[in-house]
Structures are given as C-alpha cells and as structure tokens.
Amino acid sequence: MLARVRSGALMGIDAVVVECEVDMALGLPYFNVVGLPEGAVRESKVRVVSALKNCGFELPSKRITVNLAPADIRKEGAAFELPIALGVLAAAKLLAEEPLGRFLFGGELSLDGGVKPIKGVLPLAVAARDGGYHGVMVPEANAAEAALVEGLEVLAVRHLRDAVGHLSGDKPLSAFLREPPGRGRASAHPAPLDLCDVRGQADLKTALELAAAGGHNVLLCGPPGSGKTMLARRLPGILPTMTFDEALEVTKIYSVLGLLGDTQSLMRERPFRAPHHTISDAGLVGGGPATRPGELSLAHHGVLFLDELPEFRRNVLEVLRQPMEEGAIHLARASQHVTYPCRVMLVAAMNPCPCGYFNVPGRTCTCTENRVHDYHSRVSGPLLDRIDITLQTRPVEFHHMGRGGTTEPSSAHYRERVEAARERQRRRFQDEPGVYCNAQMPTRLLHRHCQSTPRAEQMLERAVRRFGLSARAHDRILKLALTRADLEGHARIEDIDMALAIDCRQMDRRGWLHVNTQGGPPRALPAFREPGDP
C-alpha cells in the first residue's frame, strides 16, 4: 500500500514542498528512508517506530520504504518525523489518506509520541499558502509563528494522538487563533539605550539621525573613549518601527535558525548584530556545510556593527562589498544554491592608528607614519566607497562630562524626526517592491526623485572634481542629500542639504590623514564651501 503526505524542506529562507511517499510491502521487516536524507532524517525511522508503538499502534511486519521527493534536494532536521509517522499509518490502513492531502505537516517526535518544536515553520506556512493547501499542522510551540501567514488554517498539536484524532475525525482540533498584525506578545528585550546618555558630540548625533532616516552606512574614526561604540549601540533606539512586511522577512531568517524566543512569534524590533573581529567569512556572510545565514543576514533591516574595523581579516571585509551593493548574498555550493537577503545598515568604528592617539591633542602617538598608513590600508578603497557617512570623532570635552552639563536630547526626539522622514520615503517608493528607504533606491530612480536646485548641482559637480569621487560616491551623496531634504521637509534638494551630504564623506578627501607637525591642536577638517561663502 502506498500513501503520500506533504511536508517541506528548507532552501535558504524559503521552503520547498516535499512529498513523503510511504510504501508498505511484503518482505522481511525493514524501515528505509531515501531521497537524499542527512543524518537526523535517517535516524527518524527509529523515533517514528518507537512513537507509533508507544501510542498503541500495531504495525504489520512488512517492508517499509519512505521516499522524500524531490530526491535532488537535501533533507535536513527532524521536521519530517510527524509526516512520516502519519504516512506509515495511512499505508497500514490505520488512517484515511484523503485528509492528509489538505495540509502540510512538520514536527519532531519524541519516543512517547510527543510533538516537539522545529525550525523553519514560517517558511513552511508560506509554502503551504503559495501551494494552495488548506493549512498546516505543526507543533504547538510553533503555532503562533505559522499563524503570521494569513489565509491559512493552523492546527497546533502536542501529541501524535492529537494529529491522528483530528485526521480521523474522532477528536477534531480547533484552528489556532492568530493575533492581529499590529499586536503580539511583548518582546523580552530590554528597553533600547538612549542617546541622552551620550554627552556632547552633537554633530555625530546629527549624522546618526541622517543615517537612520535613510538607512545609510556609517564609519566613525576617532580615539578611544570618544563615544564611537556608545553612539552605535544607541542607533537602534532612533530607527523607525519595521513594517509588517519587513518584520516578516526578518522573522523568516530567525525561524530558519531556530532563534525565535518562546514568547516571540514576530520580530518587531530591528536587529542589532555586533560580531567579534575574529569571525570567519562564512560566519559573517553565511555558508558552511549546511549553508546557513550569517551575521549579515541576521542583521537584515537592522544594524550590523563592526567595531575595530581594521582588526577584521581582509578577506572577511572584502566579502561584504557585493552584498552591501545588492542587498542579498548568493551562496553557491556543490549541492545547492541559495540566496539570503541582507539589506543592512553597516555601522563601523575604528581608531586613527594602532595605539589610538594619532593626531589627538594632549596625547602622544607611538606609531610610525608607515604603521598608521598600513593600519588604514586594511580597509580597502572599494569598501570605503560603499559607506555613505565617514566622520572623525573628537575626544569629549570636560564641560560635557561634568554633572552641570546641559540636558541632551533623548532618542525619542530623534526618532520622531526619523519616522517622519521614513514616512515620506514610504510614499515615494510605494510602487517599488523591496525598496523601503533612500539608501535602497536603485540607480534608475535617482534622476526621478533626486531633484536638486541649480546651486546644489553645481556644488556636487565641484565636489566630484575637487575630491576625485567615483560614480558610486556621486550617487550616494545624492541619496544622502535627499534624506537630509526629507528630514527638513524640503520639496527638493537644497544647497544646504547637498553641502551637509558632502561634508559627511570626510574620508573621501585627499590628505585627511594629515600629520600635524606644527604642535598644538590638530587642524580641523574644513567643511565643503563654495568660493565666496562666508
């Protein structure tokens, strides 16, 4: 007797429908699983047989063959145990096959028949909706995750007997009640850090506000203790709330890795990932034997913070170049080819030299000039060209550190302005799928949306010629100027917007790494000005 049950196999962050064909024929008792199964899938036959026996089902002494089709896709994990067990019962005439065709099934079985949670339930539910299935039957712990997909009946099961009782009609299960998209369980994460904790550095806070408003990449270079890491870790507190589509994309990635908490079904906060500089290239962008997402994809629609940027290995940093441009990482392996999304805000921090005190007033640098240049050469020009905002930080002055300092604006102040700017961008790109902010705007839309005043265009032309900027830098300055216009409510890019956008790319200027040989405080990098400006 042959029975068929449908489940799903993960391919990247999506699921492919897998047909579990169970054949029960005469012969010596044997249980075999084929169809490119990996170790955990091959071991599932032991748990399936034990779970069926402990639930009171008597299996005939026959040869059982399970085929997981399509056979050219690698099957991983324990999610196939529930569908295999139901297929065995259907093949043994202990369960009708007709109800099995309306659902996709997934779940790991314990030896007593309990159904344990699995990874990748959200992609499984999406595959069921796209495939026209009536619903999914998943472990109770994963039901809220599957219920994020609308138009789908979600059946939550605790035990194998619950699944059999519903499919046989003896004890029907009630569909899991989904929560409205705007609601959900409270996140277990602590309240975000507030920018009011950072004393001084008003220009850097303005730059972070600009970055948050348009989703732009940032590089902060300055001495130790100047607030680089402190500012970066408070950036999520001023980022706008994710839309439901953005949250669903992020949740799929975390679902594939099994990183969703017990009290959280939908990722509502933008992720913030800060990997250590000893990370490998596979750990950063994804890959490995199982082709799993890396830190870059885990920061999708959020912030990827690389502290001590030059300390990362050169090959690790260089693999960021193409994903930063495309917003996706393509991983090709012998057995599969997967694509993971990775639209992130890259925020990096670095010291001006290995000792950290190059050209810092009141401190003595112990590095030679060659060491300083070698240190900065670890960050390649092509990678630096993909960063929209590059700024030098300064040591915090004493009057800002004292208790009598003025009250600093809170993150709520900046977030309100950022939300207003993002709302303008949502209206601007409402007909462009996958584009949520100015930094993600493709080149074909630049001339349509980046309308500048004649004086602003002249300023950009002069800056490109004066600093030798690339075409990519030209486009990124335009996007940055458009974000500044969105923040201030300008109908088009004004000259003040363009000037600020050019000033935010300080490391594009020749000689910015200037050694002050005259003594005294270093000369401040001059802001970009037109001839005749006051």
Residue that has been written with the tokens 């000037």 in this structure: 499
For residues 211 and 420, give the distance between their C-alpha atoms in angstroms, rounded to a whole number.
Answer: 14
Does residue 70 have a cis peptide bond before it, meaning omega lies within 30 degrees of 0? yes
Which CATH number does 2-168 carry? 3.30.230.10
- Strand 108-109 relative to strand 115-116: parallel, antiparallel, unpaired? antiparallel
Extents of the domains making up the chain: 2-168, 195-508
Are 515 and 369 in contact by the 8 Å Cβ rule? The answer is: yes
- In sign, the C-alpha dihedral spanning 200, 204, 210, 213 is negative
Quick one: tokens of 281?
């290239």
d(CA 88, CA 95): 9
- For residue 153, list its beta bridge partners: 135
517 CB contacts (<8 Å, ≥6 apart)?
none
Q: Could you identify the residue written with the tokens 């990996």?
A: 38
pLDDT digits 0-9 by tens, 326-372 = 999 998 877 678 999 999 999 999 998 999 988 888 888 899 888 98
In this structure, what are the phi and psi dihedrals at residue 24, rounded to the nearest 5 degrees? -120, 115
Name the strand (E) or helix (H) holding 87.
Answer: helix 81-91
Quick: pLDDT tens for 451-470.
Answer: 999 999 999 999 999 888 88
pTM of the model: 0.88
Residues (pLDDT < 50) of the chain are 183-190, 510-512, 514-534
Which CATH fold would you assign to the domain 195-508? Rossmann fold (3.40.50)
Give the pLDDT confidence of 172-204 residue by residue, as tens digits: 999 998 766 554 444 434 456 888 888 878 888
Closest CA relative to residue 55, chosen from 104, 6, 19, 95: 95
- 3-state secondary structure string across 88-128: HHHHCCCCCCHHHHHEEECCEECCCCEEECCCCHHHHHHHH
